[in-house]
Structure 1
Amino acid sequence: MSNFRKWVMVVVISSASLCATCASSIASFTEAGEVDAFRVSKEVTILGISMYMVGLGTGPLLVGPLSEVYGRNIVYRLSYIFFFAFTFPVAFAPNIATFLVFRVLTGFASSAFLSVAGGSVSDMFSNYNVANPMAFYTMSPFIGPVVGPMYSGLINQHLDWRWTYRIQIIWIFIELVMLFVFVRETYVPVLLKGKAARMRKETGDGRFYAPLDRRDGSLVGAIFVSCYKPFELMIYERMALLLNIWTALLLGILYLTLQAFPFIFEKNHGFNMQSTGLSFAGIGLGMILAFLAQLVYNKVSAPKTAAKYGGNPPPEVRLIIGMAGAVLCPISLFWLAFTTYRSVHWIVPIIASILLGTGSLFVFTSVFTYLVTAYRPLAASALASNSALRSAFAAAFPLFAGAMYNKLGTVGATALLAGLTTIMAPLPFVFFRIGTRLRQNSRFAAS
């Protein structure tokens, strides 16, 4: 494929990932409508976010092994077909039970784009050229929770809450069409399997086969391994566990802001629903700036790093950009905490949130790249373990956000989060120094 064709596929896959994670956070501004429609408490409606994240976190344990047997493309297409179909009961749910059940199912169906999509990017680009497309893809699912409240707030300010999901259906359909038109199979074992089948048919010689034709074990066995291997990795690998907790904490904080920003901007500054949704633009802008900074960093540092280590840099060099993120995140949260007073202009906390977006994406990118390179034989399991823990935190944090901000106030609650990120901040600095030694004693790390 030409580079242009590869990048078209990267953009389509990334936009599908954006749509999938955006669907999680759009529920934040539909809660008031759900309270009136379903006659339930606000605490119950918050489960709309949490249930989606449960599906999003458990789905990769199934779709990961499926993609390694049947290929990336069929998983993408079936995933989005089910995502499209299951969103209709969400948009037209007659009761809260139906709404929550199908929120889980939509999260599960869309989860392929948090696990399989990264594999497609790595399929198309060499190790030397993969940094920029991987940075672009990594940004997409994490900017989704920021984009969701922005357009959800606009819709719910002027229309019935159900239109949030009806418009989401239209977006999913457009993504589904683009997946069929522009995205082709990239997984080499599946391509070889198709080639072997064509050669057997054309030549009549049954001796042509691909490695996947003689795959050992069953699909059920592969799914079983994919379910326990990520947790085994976290149990025995302190590096993986601590880095996973770090990214899970940051994603939990991002999802907690879905409940925290209304406290800060609606109660303190009198924002309406639409304006509160737009207040998330600061985090989104920070992520875009982080992506642009990574393009520059990769262009400048990659040749020097490759030359320094003889073309084979250790995984720990991937943590360097995470060091910047480790410093920016607590600074941003402390700044945000002590500028939430009504007397402080609303633009000041939004500027603080820009640093949160930048620091978070630096951390996510560095940890993902580190896990893939450090645990290359088990890269899929390493990412699945990270995804499962991140989704668990993202599902849980919004549930106690209201109680925490009511009890501690905007200053105390946000400062508590800043303190947690401060405790985790030394991780990239420590692992950069001792990571090589720890990997030498690891049962899972690549040599």
Structure 2
Amino acid sequence: MSSRALSTFDGDDTATANGTQRSAMEEGMIGKGKIGCAQAIAGDENALEKLTLVTLEPEDDPKNMPLLRKWVVVLIISSAALCATCTSSIAASAESGESLDFHVSKEVTILGISLYVEGLGCGPLLLGPLSEFYGRNPVYWVSYFLFFVFSFPVAFAPNITVFLIFRFIGGFAGSAFLSVAGGSVGDLFSNESVANPMAVYTASPFLGPVVGPLFSGFINQNLNWRWTYRVQIIWAFVELVALILFIPETFVPAILKRKAQKIRKHERMEVYAPLEVQQKELLFFDRMALLLDLWNALVLGILYLAFQAFPIIFGEKHGFNVQMTGVSFLGIGIGLVIGTISQPFWNRLHQREAMKYEGNPPPELRLMMGMPGGVLVSLGLFWIAFTTFPGVPWIVPELGSVPFGLGIIYVFTATFTYLVTAYRPIAASAMAANSALRSSFAAVFPLFAGQMYNRLGTVGATALLAGLTALMAPLP
């Protein structure tokens, strides 16, 4: 073991191999920023006066991986997130078949979406912090294995009770990719280069709910509803294999912990990683994060409400069948794709603005793209609201869903990139708080969609949602 990989804690200073001095607090902390820094030493200070800490060498740093390998990691965890969130909305097209087989009303089958999304919201509160104590990979492997296993009781459920229980459990297990995956992207890329991979990752969990009705509509038009979940099981298995084979550990404190354990075991040296001796902190909300999380929650709640609203707008008003109603979500998907491929423009704008801060821009600069995003979400919803009359060609409200989708990707990319850069190294906990709040809204909104649209009509209900988003548009 090279001497430069170790440092010795002694009183107020840490001696390194090259003779330079660092403060013990600097050596022990794993990050700075708005959340402050973690305590380097916990417990009996006298017993830890001569504590030797293992340090990060260049070959250990995930940021030094080859660029191609880093992008493989990003694409795999993004596709896993796509699968997990797609599983939420595939239930929308299967509701009629579930209602007939289980002899329950359509309102009960809507719980298949709400309970799954509620699981997506609850899971990150546990899985996000766990990934910062034990590393990303253990959480990925265990959670996705359980996600795969618990998909079987859904596909082969004998009654509605089993179906709904395991929908919630499946959502809980698959939720790692709504919080932990964002932390992995932050592990691999510096603040200067994180925008593009974060845009790709951000698009995936929001493309999922859009893709779900698209492919499940074709399945349910031609096959039994259970095939919706059987196809999802096959997809989940492929993702699980890819996660095990191709995803390395990226969380630096966990890498150092395993390195220290290996040295203690094989070289009989008493060395420790900062993660083993520091006090553990957990970020929930500060005021800035809370406001942005509420904004995200409203937007995602409206997106999930669309799974009940679009069948009314395009099915009842324009006579679309199940298959074509699923296709009606394509406009939102197009907006998401346009937003993702426009990321280089925002990168150049960020670089230009960053020059004003002498190379040290504040994380809030990442919220620039959220400004037009908030406006586009409201614009798209108002467009849809006032073109839902049966006499208006169906393509007109469909075109209105494009700026809505574009606004969604701008809102979430801005927020996610801000959270990852502002709350290093506990980005997964920051993302977990965001996921919990937005998923709670997404779980509840579909439950009252039918009643709201029946009471207010398609114009009034959609305009009401547009007005709420307009009120929150100034937040970034």
TM-score w.r.t. length of structure 1: 0.89
Report the Cα offset of residue 215 of structure 1. 4.6
Mapping of 1:226-375 within 5 angstroms?
A: 226=282, 229-230=283-284, 233=285, 237=287, 239-298=288-347, 300-375=348-423
Mapping of 1:20-419 within 5 angstroms?
A: 20-203=84-267, 205-216=268-279, 226=282, 229-230=283-284, 233=285, 237=287, 239-298=288-347, 300-376=348-424, 379-419=427-467
CA–CA separation in structure 2 for the residues paired with 1:374 and 1:189: 18
State which drifts further: 363-372 or 19-28.
363-372
CA–CA separation in structure 2 for the residues paired with 1:371 and 1:122: 10
Deviations 1:120-166 (A, max 9, x none): 11111111111100111011111111011101111000000111001
CA–CA separation in structure 1 for the residues paired with 2:266 and 2:424: 37
CA–CA separation in structure 2 for the residues paired with 1:412 and 1:173: 43
CA–CA separation in structure 2 for the residues paired with 1:126 and 1:371: 14
The aligned counterpart of 2:52 is none
Deviations 1:412-431 (A, max 9, x none): 11111111111111222xxx
CA–CA separation in structure 2 for the residues paired with 1:286 and 1:48: 27
Report the Cα offset of residue 375 of structure 1. 4.5
Equivalent residue pairs, number: 412
State which drifts further: 51-60 or 361-370.
361-370
Report the Cα offset of residue 198 of structure 1. 2.6
In terms of fraction of residues, the more helix-rich structure is 1
Determine if contact 2:350/2:365 at 8 Å carries over to the other structure.
Answer: no
Letter in 1 for 2:388: T
Report the Cα offset of residue 296 of structure 1. 2.4
CA–CA separation in structure 2 for the residues paired with 1:192 and 1:314: 28
TM-score w.r.t. length of structure 2: 0.84
The aligned counterpart of 2:30 is none
Report the Cα offset of residue 297 of structure 1. 1.8
Residue aligned with 1:50, SS: helix
> Compared with structure 1, are the counterparts of its residues 369 and 201 closer, same or farther at alpha carbon in structure 2 (3 Å cutoff)?
same
CA–CA separation in structure 2 for the residues paired with 1:22 and 1:385: 21
Report the Cα offset of residue 45 of structure 1. 0.5
Letter in 2 for 1:149: P
How many percent identity over aligned positions?
A: 64
Report the Cα offset of residue 376 of structure 1. 4.6
Residue aligned with 1:427, SS: coil
Deviations 1:399-440 (A, max 9, x none): 000111111111111111111111111222xxxxxxxxxxxx
Residue aligned with 2:179, SS: helix
CA–CA separation in structure 2 for the residues paired with 1:215 and 1:372: 21
Deviations 1:213-251 (A, max 9, x none): 3354xxxxx6xx75xx52xx25xx2x3332222111110
CA–CA separation in structure 1 for the residues paired with 2:440 and 2:316: 29
> Compared with structure 1, are the counterparts of its residues 197 and 372 closer, same or farther at alpha carbon in structure 2 (3 Å cutoff)?
closer
State which drifts further: 361-370 or 126-135.
361-370
The aligned counterpart of 2:22 is none
Residue aligned with 1:30, SS: helix
Report the Cα offset of residue 268 of structure 1. 1.3
Letter in 2 for 1:330: S
CA–CA separation in structure 1 for the residues paired with 2:274 and 2:82: 34
CA–CA separation in structure 2 for the residues paired with 1:378 and 1:169: 32
Report the Cα offset of residue 302 of structure 1. 3.2
Residue aligned with 1:400, SS: helix
Please, what is the CA RMSD of the aligned residues?
Answer: 1.5
Report the Cα offset of residue 374 of structure 1. 4.2
Give the gaps of 5 or more residues in structure 1.
217-221, 429-447
CA–CA separation in structure 1 for the residues paired with 2:270 and 2:453: 67
Residue aligned with 1:206, SS: coil
CA–CA separation in structure 2 for the residues paired with 1:67 and 1:364: 22
The aligned counterpart of 1:10 is 74
Letter in 1 for 2:238: I
Which has the higher Rg, Structure 1 or Structure 2?
2
